[in-house]
Structure formats: structure tokens, C-alpha cells
Structure 1
Amino acid sequence: MNYGWFFLIALCDAPEPWQIGFQDAATPMMQGMIDLHHDILFFLVIILIFVLWMLVRTLWHFDSKRNPIPERVVHGTTIEILWTIFPSIILMFIAIPSFALLYSMDEVVDPAITIKAIGHQWYWSYDILLYYSDYNSSDEQSLAFDSYMIPEDELELGQLRLLEVDNRVVVPAQTHLRFLITSADVLHSWAVPSLGVKCDAVPGRLNQASIFIKREGVYYGQCSELCGTNHGFMPIVLEAVALDDYVSWVSNKLE
């Protein structure tokens, strides 16, 4: 029995059946999101345990049989100071990393390649800027193509249902990329979970996202904004390759 398809899927950054956690991070931004999630979850677990302990302790000690005469303490300066200071400290530990991450998400590093992603009902089209262009010049300066979902009856062994496309976006790994995202009709959203990017595609407006893919691989995403009947049938596939392979891909596309 051929298990090649299993290893192909295992190496792809795509959703898995019964998946609970995040996909493997392929960008520093996504790694930062995962780390922030774990940090916040740590504080949430500590708070949950403390609150449960207080509830159990209250139910146990303040029972009419064990304590027939209830306490009449209605004010405590010390406890009020403590439950003001400690939550403030916890919020600071959460806020500072999140502010840094939010700032990094909006910061666009000087890109080596700019790619324009345009949402349509119901497919994506891409325009890869090969060198300086304002997207109004000749086609020789950019590489444009459409990306449609492969129908289920045309899938090959190892390909993922509702996630494969006929034209993948091939990009070089270890390279700063800029995506300009817009729409030709209605609201869409260009989202790839393992890259930590989700950017709205708004008609008449350009949004941008900076991506630095750390490793080679195939990364799957989908439109994440309800855009009509076939909203669930416009996947996104990025393939990160070595720089030499990217140059070869561009050359083949231009021929």
C-alpha cells in the first residue's frame, strides 16, 4: 500500500480532522500569536483555580451547621488593596506583549516582492510585482493569474478536499513579502492560519500585510468573510520554495 499521500498531507500546513490546537507556525507573527495565547491561557488557568478554591472554601466553611453565627466583616482595606493590585499586574503582563504584537502586525518591512490578491465571487486572482510597477503599465512587469478551487471529482491522491487550487501562489521562503489585498465585487477576507494573516478584501480599498515565511512548505487558507453562495469554495494555497525554485517558476510562467 502506498503511504506517500499520508506524508504529503503531514508536511502541509492544513487543517486536520478533530483539530483543536493551532497549525504549526510558519511566520514569526504566527509564533508570536501562539506564544501570546499560551501566556494568556496560563493566567486564565491560575485565575480559574483560585476562584474555584475560593468557592469550595466558602461552601465548606460557611455552612450553617459548621458556622451557626455568620461573620459580620463588611470591610477590609488590605484585601481591597490586594485585589486591585494583583489584577493590575496580571493585566500588565498580558497587555505589554499584546501591544508589541499588534504593532508588529501593522509594520511592513521593506519587501523584496509585492503580491496583489484580488477577491472575486468566488475565486482569487493574483498579480505578482516582478519589479517596480504601478499596476497600470505593461504586463511585462507583473505576473497575473487566477486561482480556482479544484472540483472534488478532479482531485488527485493526496490532495485536500475544498482546499486545493489549480494555480498556487509560489513565493520564496526566508524573504520579506508584501500582500496588497482588495476585492473586485463584495467583501472577502484573505486568511492563511499557519502564516498568521487574515486581511479583509474591501472593494475600492487596498489593505496590506507583511509576511516572512521561515520555512519551505505548502500553506492552506480560505476566504474568511461571508461573500455569497460559494463562499466556502474559494481556497488559498501558498507554496514557499527556495529562491532558485521561485526564479524558475516565474521564468516558466512568463514563457
Structure 2
Amino acid sequence: MKAGCLKQWIAGLAALAMPVAALAQSADPHRWQLNMGRGVTHLSNNAYEAHMLALWICVAIGVAVFAGMGVAIFRFRKSRGAVPDTGFVHNTRLEILWTVVPVVLLVIMAVPATSKLVAMYDTRDSGLTVKVTGYQWMWGYEYLGQDVQFVSRMDRRSDEIRQSGTRPDPATDPHYLLEVDNPLVVPVDTKIRFVITADDVIHSWWVPALGWKQDAVPGIVNEAWADISTPGIYRGQCAELCGKDHGFMPIVVHAVSRDEFDRWLARRRAGNNDPSPLAVTTAVPAPPAG
């Protein structure tokens, strides 16, 4: 085997070991990430904890099963004189054991999963409501009760590169196809209620760092909520095939302090539509395109 191939195999095995090691992940997905990320909301942390609980239970079951198989294969092999027991039919105790144990494990996993699933749809006591509307091919945002609304499209730079047919330079355009002209600005440490719908066809509003994805369906209003804990820039995309420009509907969420959000909201109400003067200092990697 060539040295290059050997290095690739070693790198691949190291990548496969990442979920078991449960390494910390950034808020947004990044290239070669295998394990689930924690995200930056209460719900995303709930999902991560439920995922890790199920993962470690499955790891323990796998270790026990394969350890038993290994012992049986090597200890009772033909070369050591082992003879198969042709009269063996079943063992009642073992059948009870391997029926009861999975049921108990499922109950252990179901109880916290159910409570967290119920919490995902509890939008009560929210401090801000944002209406999200999907269009072909852009997003409309309306801050209900705040007299602020705008449309968010893919930024002109990404569109120019896309139409030119040239390959983007990661150094100068690190967020190619994942940048917008008007990001959604929200405050941190605030329960934000999202009401999500569509104007034409089915879309899906998805920001991985928030920990959920919600379909935008014409004539139907779906609900979700988020309480972002860390200021930063979090990116997502439309996750429902909605037409020829489906891949060009990025989502950018700017999470800022409450004071900064209030100042931005006041500027929007006053007619200042420039989204740039935001004191955002923490940025996270973008999810891989496609």
C-alpha cells in the first residue's frame, strides 16, 4: 500500500472516531464533521443531549454484543475441538432477558425525548415574534408588532460569481452562496417565536445552530422558537426543494445584544435600511454548500 493511501486511511479512521469521542463542535456544521453539534439554543442543546444519550447506549450495546461474539468465535472454534450442539433450541431466560432489556432502554430514552419534544412546540412567554415567509427564491421577515419588515436575498457578490461560471476563491469569498443582503437580526437571551409560512410553494427554514428545521407551507402557519445564548452570525439554507433556484436561498441570522438590537430596530423604524452597522464580533463557520 502506498504511503499516500495509508495516510488517507489513517485520516478516515480518525474521522470515524470523532462521534465516539464526542468532540465539541462549532455552532454551524463544518467540513468533515460527523458528530452532532451543540448549537447555541436551549432546544439545540436538548437535541444534542438526547443524541449523545442514545449514542452511548448504542455504543454500550455494540461493545457487549461484539465482545460476546468475539468470545464465542475464538473460544469455541472448531480447531479447538468445539462441537456444535444440534439439540439446542432455545433458552427461556435468555429470551426474557433480551426482550426486557431493550424495552427498558427504550423507556429510558423515550422519557427525556418526549419531554424535550413537547418543549420544542411551547412558544408561550416569548419576548419577540418574527414572521418568516418563503418565496421563490428569497425570505421575507416581519417583526410582528414592531412595524419592521424586509426581504432577504442572496447577496449580489455570490450571484455575480454564480452567473460568471468562475470558481469562487475561499480566501476572498468564504461564504459563497451563504451570504445575504439583509440578515435577520435578533437579540440574544430572548425567547423568540417564529411563525413560518410560504407564499407560493413549500420551502423549509433551516439554521443548524438553532437546533430545528420548520417547513414553510402555503396556507399553513407553523410555529417554532429559539433563545440564542451566544452573539454571532449563524447561517442556514432552504431545506425543501422548491424550484430551480432552491440552492440560492441562504439564511443569515445575526444575534446581537439586546441593546444593539433595540438600536437596530429603532434605525429600521426610522427608515434606515442599512443592515451593516451591527456590533457582531463572533462569527462561526458556514455549513458546507450542498
Please tell me whether the aligned partners of residues 192 and 198 of structure 1 are also in contact (alpha carbons under 8 angstroms). Answer: yes
TM-score normalised to structure 1 length:
0.85
State whether structure 2 residue 109 is matched by structure 1 residue 94: yes
Please tell me whether the aligned partners of residues 13 and 218 of structure 1 are also in contact (alpha carbons under 8 angstroms). Answer: no
Aligned residue-pair number: 234
User: What letter matches 1:170 in structure 2?
Assistant: V
State whether structure 2 residue 187 is matched by structure 1 residue 172: yes
Counterparts of 1:1-255 in structure 2 under 5 Å? 13-67=27-81, 69-71=83-85, 72-129=87-144, 131=145, 142-150=147-155, 151-152=157-158, 153=160, 157=172, 160-255=175-270
Alignment partners' CA distance in 2, 1:245 and 1:254: 14
Alignment partners' CA distance in 1, 2:220 and 2:235: 24
User: What letter matches 1:225 in structure 2?
Assistant: E
Decide which structure has greater strand share. Answer: 1
User: What letter matches 2:53 in structure 1?
Assistant: D
1:165 aligns to what SS in structure 2? coil
Q: Could you tell me how far 1:27 is from its partner in structure 2? A: 0.5
* CA deviation string 1:117-153 (max 9, x = no partner): 0001111011111x3xxxxxxxxx5211000011324
Alignment partners' CA distance in 1, 2:123 and 2:40: 17
Identity of aligned pairs, percent?
Answer: 39
- Aligned-residue CA RMSD (Å): 2.1
Q: 1:20 to 1:64 in 2, by over 3 A?
A: closer
Q: Could you tell me how far 1:247 is from its partner in structure 2? A: 1.1
Alignment partners' CA distance in 2, 1:147 and 1:159: 19
Please tell me whether the aligned partners of residues 61 and 67 of structure 1 are also in contact (alpha carbons under 8 angstroms). Answer: no
Please tell me whether the aligned partners of residues 123 and 234 of structure 1 are also in contact (alpha carbons under 8 angstroms). Answer: yes
Please tell me whether the aligned partners of residues 13 and 220 of structure 1 are also in contact (alpha carbons under 8 angstroms). Answer: no
2:78 aligns to what SS in structure 1? coil
Alignment partners' CA distance in 2, 1:20 and 1:160: 21
Consecutive aligned runs of 4 or more in structure 1 exceeding 4 Å deviation: 153-159
1:60 aligns to what SS in structure 2? helix
| Runs of 5+ consecutive residues of structure 1 not aligned to the other structure | 1-11, 132-140
Q: 1:68 to 1:42 in 2, by over 3 A?
A: closer
TM-score normalised to structure 2 length:
0.75
